[in-house]
């Protein structure tokens, strides 16, 4: 199986020794504590899960600035986005050498992790904008990633962490949430060597289904990892339980047995386009995948990125940095001419009218009205699950 990124073995930061974990939880109750931002909590979960291997915790400002500028830390490690514990107020942890990080997303704010404090630094004027512009390629506050990042506060707490739980993800998504450790173990148990990963924050329609099959066949993979984001999205996106149900139904009915793993990870979407695509590749390599599908506008939002910027950024990475290979996909759609789903670049003789294309807005309108989607666009069983959700939403607003 492919090696993790940056080390020979995966080093998740979750404390698996139960006796030690209980001792740390007890110690945490005596420590100065900080209720962290939701996106920071996502970073904690990813560090605990092994997806951010080989990082040991949160970066300082010097590392964050260099990562933003050149995609490498001060020690030379390639990394695409700063991983920071940012907060607006450090009065409760002033001069602390060790602190408890508390979960903002679970009632009672239970302890998520214990952090050794190497430094508490204040971001100077221009630092936040510099990082945001490099990572998101814009300073527009209308970009949800920019507004989220710039609103987290000006203090940065750096240092290694020990993770003590996985927030709400294990409880709310027991059949879907998996750590990188667990995915590696299951890939090994299935006897797979080549695995294609597919990232999704949306339900999967016919085009997504066929893209997974096209990529699997193209690289002669043993299986596909459908890896869905379970954390916070933007307003209007479909909740994770609905996406999960729709994807499971599609796989059950339309993929051969033992060719797909359906899993999810606990992280809030960054919407950082190309930079986030590279981050996604790193944590798929850490999960044991040999290939990763990058399509049009991967991890994008609005019109902030070019259609294939998330593919082009991989040409800027020094050769050999990542072992995972990128499967560069074009937009996929059902061809009326060929009576099958194709990648648009493969059919230069087609015009727009030769494809079945629906905008996201049109899909939502049809489902909310109880209208069937074209079978060429969406499997009927998937559409019914989504229709139930949209009709409930419409009834709730009525």
Q: Which of 21, 201, 328, 384 is catalytic?
A: 201
Decide if 202 is catalytic: yes
- Tens place of pLDDT for every residue, the chain, 398 residues? 999 999 999 999 999 999 999 999 999 999 999 999 999 999 999 999 999 999 999 999 999 999 999 999 999 999 999 999 999 999 999 999 999 999 999 999 999 999 999 999 999 989 999 999 999 999 999 999 999 999 999 999 999 999 999 999 999 999 999 999 999 999 999 999 999 999 998 889 999 999 999 999 999 999 999 999 998 777 677 888 899 999 999 999 999 999 999 999 999 889 999 999 999 999 999 999 999 999 988 888 888 999 899 999 999 999 999 999 999 998 888 899 999 999 889 999 999 999 988 777 788 888 888 888 888 899 999 999 999 998 887 777 65
Domain 18-170: CATH superfamily is Sulfate adenylyltransferase (3.10.400.10)
Cis link prior to 64 (omega < 30° from 0)?
Answer: no
Decide if 286 is catalytic: no
Is the Cα dihedral 85, 89, 92, 97 positive or negative? Answer: positive
Tokens matching residue 5 = 């990124």
Burial label, 258 (beta-carbon count in 10 A; 0-12, 13-18, 19+): exposed
Is-above-0.85 flag for pTM? yes
Contact 143, 136 (CB under 8 A): yes
Residues 76 and 215: their CA atoms lie apart, in Å, by 33
pLDDT of residue 394: 73
pLDDT of residue 398: 59
Among 79, 54, 55, 52, which residue's Cα sits nearest to residue 68?
79
Distance of CA 314 to the CA centre of its chain: 17
Contact 313, 292 (CB under 8 A): no
CA angle (351, 352, 357) in 5-degree steps: 145
- The three-state secondary structure class of 118 is coil
User: What is each CA distance from 248 to 242, 245, 379, 387, in whole angstroms?
Assistant: 10, 5, 12, 16
Q: Which string of DSSP letters, residue by residue, matches 36-87?
A: --HHHHHHHHHHHHTTTTT--EE--HHHHHHHHHHSB-TTS-B-SS----EE
pLDDT of residue 272: 95
- Residue 98 CB coordination number (10 Å): 15
352-358, Cβ contacts within 8 angstroms, sequence gap of 24 or more: 357/333
**Beta bridge partners of residue 291, listed in sequence order:** 196, 325
CATH number of 175-397: 3.40.50.620
Residues 217 and 393: their CA atoms lie apart, in Å, by 38
Q: Side by side, which strands form the sheet with 223-229?
A: 260-265, 223-229, 195-200, 291-294, 325-328
SS (H, E, C) 229-298: ECCCCCCCCCCHHHHHHHHHHHHHHHCCCCCEEEEEECCCCCCCHHHHHHHHHHHHHHCCCCEEEECCCC
pLDDT of residue 273: 94
Q: Which of 202, 248, 364, 384 is catalytic?
A: 202
Distance of CA 30 to the CA centre of its chain: 33
Contact 163, 85 (CB under 8 A): no
In the chain, what are the domain boundaries? 18-170, 175-397
């Amino acid at each position: 199986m492919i090696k993790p990124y940056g080390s020979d073995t995966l080093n998740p930061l979750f404390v698996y020794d139960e006796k030690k974990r209980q001792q740390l939880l007890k110690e945490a109750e005596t420590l100065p504590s900080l209720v962290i931002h939701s996106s920071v909590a996502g970073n904690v979960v990813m560090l605990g899960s092994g997806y951010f291997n080989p990082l040991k915790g949160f970066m300082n400002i010097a590392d964050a600035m260099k990562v933003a500028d050149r995609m490498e830390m001060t020690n030379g490690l390639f990394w695409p986005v700063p991983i920071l514990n940012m907060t607006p107020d450090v009065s409760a942890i002033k001069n602390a050498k060790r602190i408890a990080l508390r979960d903002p997303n679970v009632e009672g704010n239970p302890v998520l992790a214990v952090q050794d404090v190497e430094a508490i630094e204040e971001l100077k004027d221009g630092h936040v904008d510099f990082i945001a512009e490099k990572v998101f390629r814009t300073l527009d506050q209308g970009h949800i990633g920019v507004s989220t990042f710039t609103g987290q506060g000006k203090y940065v707490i750096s240092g290694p962490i020990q993770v003590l739980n996985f927030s709400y993800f294990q409880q709310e998504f027991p059949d879907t949430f998996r750590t990188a450790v667990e995915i590696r173990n299951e890939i090994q148990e299935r006897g797979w060597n080549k695995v294609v990963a597919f990232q999704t924050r949306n339900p999967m329609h016919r085009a997504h289904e066929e893209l997974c099959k096209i990529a699997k066949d193209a690289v002669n993979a043993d299986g596909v990892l459908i890896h869905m984001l379970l954390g916070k999205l933007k307003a209007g996106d479909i909740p994770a339980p609905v996406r999960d149900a729709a994807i499971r139904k599609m796989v059950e009915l339309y993929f051969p047995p033992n060719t797909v793993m359906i899993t999810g990870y606990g992280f809030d979407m960054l919407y950082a386009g190309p930079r986030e695509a590279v981050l996604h590749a790193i944590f798929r390599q850490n999960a044991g995948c040999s290939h990763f599908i990058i399509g049009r506008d991967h991890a994008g939002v609005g019109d902030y990125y070019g259609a294939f910027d998330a593919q082009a950024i991989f040409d800027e990475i020094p050769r050999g940095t990542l072992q995972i290979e990128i499967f560069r996909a074009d937009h996929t759609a059902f061809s009326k001419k060929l009576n099958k789903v194709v990648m648009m670049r493969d059919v230069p003789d087609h015009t727009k009218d030769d494809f079945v294309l629906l905008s996201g807005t049109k899909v939502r309108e049809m489902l909310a009205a109880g209208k069937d989607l074209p079978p060429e666009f969406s499997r009927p069983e998937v559409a019914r699950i989504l229709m139930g959700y949209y009709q409930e939403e419409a009834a709730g607003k009525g």
